């Protein structure tokens, strides 16, 4: 959320948004399968031991759209319906973008006499159930937003503090598929119990993804810093629970096409939720080309579910990489410097044996070349190259 009051809060305090799909205080905690199939470099890492929410959801990172980054509080049911239409008509839905998620500001300021949340009459006159029905008929899913405090971050609607069970039942009765649960105005109640800090360390038992950063803004510095903050929690991610460096800004206008391509590629590699944050009803062809790159999406949705990480950084020249199923490796060569440069990923840095020969698939050029020992490319300032390496 980009509310003013919230900005004053610490990053950690602002960083608690859970994807709670079981709409009860569900504590279905299970052990977690040991990762398999990855190159030695990753397989040998210490197991951090997360308790995954075993609700069958989020086996790969969630994909969809959320209203906040572009619209903030200016949302209404017509716009949401048009967005659902556009997600289907453009083909984004068939690429996996299934969740249409309302963020803050969908409800009246006050609960009704029974204590229930009430959809805002001026903007959601048909109610949320009707919206869920509409979205479901299009083969999509509807997400909603609440907050662990007395009011949400915008302070235009109530939070769920003291009404957790009741609100969960309301959401379930409407057919909601996804809950984003924020942490504003929480009265500092049971801070320890709530585990407000560092949700990656605890949220896996109650949600399918959790924020690792404060809110993203539509600019290069914000985007790169979210990527870096999120990177340190990599070992906590896996099927059933994902680190969230916040939603995509691709298409909102504050970054260049190359910067947005880097944003999307790094989010995909890091197994971040891919939640589109622009107006898909009027996105440019360039924006669509980024969001619809199925080869990049495939990296994000790979069944192995291991978060790729920054494995080398020198003078703003970075190599990010991670294992994929089938012994493949995803690599991003990211030039965060101010001028064009040559970047190299050596096999020893990305978990391959030095003698391995691979097919290196360039996911933006859609071309394949053979490589051995390293991958080297000239990369423009703020641009990146993204590859999947398949050992021959
Ligand atoms: C955008 O893509 C559409 C569909 O492929 C095409 O008809 C249109 O000419 C493109 N617009 C621009 C400005 O390139
Ligand atoms: C990359 O590997 C090739 C051999 O395939 C070698 O000639 C070249 O020196 C290597 N480049 C770097 C930067 O290590």
Is 283 within 8 Å of 253 (Cβ atoms)? no
* Cα→Cα distances 208→16, 83, 205, Å: 12, 24, 8
**Which comes out higher in pLDDT, residue 2 or 212?**
212
- Beta-carbon count within 10 A of 112 CB: 9
Residue 344 in contact with ligand 2 by CB distance below 6 A: yes
Question: Which atom from ligand 2 is nearest to the alpha carbon of 371?
Answer: 5
Q: What is the CATH number of domain 309-391?
A: 2.60.40.1180
Ligand 2 within 6 A of 55 CB?
no
CA 231, 235, 238, 243 torsion-angle sign? negative
For residues 108-135, give the mean pLDDT.
98
286 alpha carbon to ligand 1 midpoint, in Å? Answer: 10
For residues 307 and 321, give the distance between their C-alpha atoms in angstroms, rounded to a whole number.
9
- pLDDT exceeds cutoff 50 at 239: yes
CB-side neighbour CA atoms (13 Å) of 56: 2
CATH number for the region 63-301 comes to: 3.20.20.70
**Distance (Å, rounded) from C-alpha 47 to C-alpha 39?**
15
Q: Predicted confidence band at 9 (pLDDT cuts at 50, 70, 90)?
A: very low
Q: Is 376 in the pocket of ligand 2 (CB under 6 A)?
A: yes
- Domain ranges for the chain: 63-301, 309-391
Query: How far does residue 316's CA lie from ligand 2's centre (Å)?
Result: 21
* Residues 359 and 389 sit within 8 Å (Cβ to Cβ): yes
71 pLDDT more than 50? yes
Nearest CA to ligand 2 atom 10: 374
Domains 63-301 and 309-391 belong to one CATH topology: no
Query: Quick check: CB of 359 below 6 Å from ligand 2?
Result: no
How high is the mean pLDDT of the chain? Answer: 88
Helix ranges (H only) for the chain are 4-7, 11-14, 40-43, 68-71, 77-89, 127-137, 164-174, 191-194, 220-231, 257-269, 285-291, 294-300
Measured in angstroms, how far is the CA atom of residue 383 from the centroid of ligand 2?
A: 22
The pLDDT score that the predictor gives to residue 21 is: 36
Any ligand 2 atom below 6 A from CB of 37: no
Cβ-contact 324, 388 below 8 angstroms: yes
Q: 251, 249, 210: which is closest to 233 by C-alpha?
A: 210
Ligand at shortest distance from the CA of 288: 1
Structure token pair of residue 349: 């840095």
Both tokens of residue 351? 């978990």
Instruction: Note if the pTM is more than 0.95.
Output: no
Specify whether the CB–CB gap between 61 and 109 falls below 8 A. Answer: no
The end-to-end CA distance of the chain, in Å, is 46
Rounded-to-integer distance, Cα 92 and Cα 274, Å: 12
SS (H, E, C) 179-216: EEEECCCCCCCCHHHHCCCCHHHCHHHCCCEEECCCCC
Q: Is pLDDT at 37 greater than 60 in this prediction?
A: no
Distance between Cα 170 and ligand 2 center (Å): 60
- More confident of the two residues 23 and 43: 43
- Contact partners, residue 125, CB within 8 Å, separation at least 6: 77
Residue 356 Cβ inside 6 Å of ligand 2? The answer reads: no
Q: How far apart are CA 204 and CA 53, in angstroms?
A: 6
pLDDT digits (tens, 9 = 90+) for 150-197: 999 999 999 999 999 999 999 999 999 999 999 899 888 764 466 667
- C-beta 374 within 6 A of ligand 2: yes
Check residue 51 and give its pLDDT. 58
Q: How long a stretch of residues is the chain?
A: 392
Distances (CA, A) of 199 to 153, 213, 224, 304, 363: 18, 10, 20, 22, 32
Residue 340 CA to ligand 2 center (angstroms) comes to 19
Any idea which ligand is nearest the CA of 345? 2
Q: What angle do CA 45, 46, 49 make, to 5 degrees?
A: 125
Integer Cα distance of 392 and 373 in angstroms = 13
Active site residues: 182, 215
Test site for ligand 2: of 376, 377, 378, 379, most ligand atoms within 8 A of the Cβ:
376
Distance of CA 135 to the CA centre of its chain: 21
């Amino acid at each position: 959320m980009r509310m003013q009051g919230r900005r004053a809060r610490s990053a950690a305090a602002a960083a608690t948004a859970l994807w709670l799909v079981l709409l009860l205080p569900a504590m279905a905690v299970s052990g977690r399968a040991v990762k398999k199939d990855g190159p030695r470099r990753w397989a040998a890492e210490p197991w951090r031991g997360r308790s995954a929410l075993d609700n069958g959801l989020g086996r790969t990172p969630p994909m969809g759209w959320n209203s906040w980054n572009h619209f903030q509080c200016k949302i209404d049911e017509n716009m949401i319906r048009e967005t659902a239409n556009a997600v289907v008509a453009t083909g984004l839905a068939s690429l996996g973008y299934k969740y249409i998620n309302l963020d803050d500001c969908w409800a009246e300021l006050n609960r009704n006499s029974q204590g229930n949340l009430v959809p805002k009459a001026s903007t959601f006159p048909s109610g949320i159930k009707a919206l869920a029905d509409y979205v479901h008929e299009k083969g999509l899913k509807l997400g909603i937003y609440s907050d662990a405090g007395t009011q949400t971050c915008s302070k235009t609607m109530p939070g769920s503090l003291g009404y957790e069970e009741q609100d969960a039942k309301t959401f379930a009765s409407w057919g909601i598929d996804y809950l984003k649960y924020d942490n504003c105005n929480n009265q500092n109640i049971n801070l320890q119990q709530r585990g407000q800090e560092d949700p990656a360390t605890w949220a896996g038992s109650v949600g399918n993804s959790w924020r690792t950063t404060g809110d993203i803004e539509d600019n290069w510095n914000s985007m790169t810093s979210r990527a870096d903050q999120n990177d340190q929690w990599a070992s906590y991610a896996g099927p059933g629970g994902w680190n969230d460096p916040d939603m995509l800004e691709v298409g909102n206008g504050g970054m260049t096409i190359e910067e947005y391509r880097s944003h999307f590629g790094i989010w995909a590699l890091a197994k971040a939720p891919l939640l589109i944050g622009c107006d898909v009803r009027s996105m440019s062809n360039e924006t669509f080309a980024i969001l619809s790159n199925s080869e990049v999406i495939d990296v994000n949705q790979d069944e192995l579910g291991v978060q790729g990480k920054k494995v080398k950084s020198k003078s703003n020249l970075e190599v990010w990489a991670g294992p994929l199923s089938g012994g493949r490796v995803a690599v991003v060569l990211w030039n965060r410097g101010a001028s064009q440069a040559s970047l190299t990923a050596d096999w020893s840095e990305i978990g391959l044996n030095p003698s391995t020969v691979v097919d290196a698939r360039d996911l933006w050029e859609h071309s394949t070349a053979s490589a051995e020992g390293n991958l080297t490319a000239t990369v423009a300032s703020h641009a990146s190259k993204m590859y999947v390496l398949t050992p021959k």
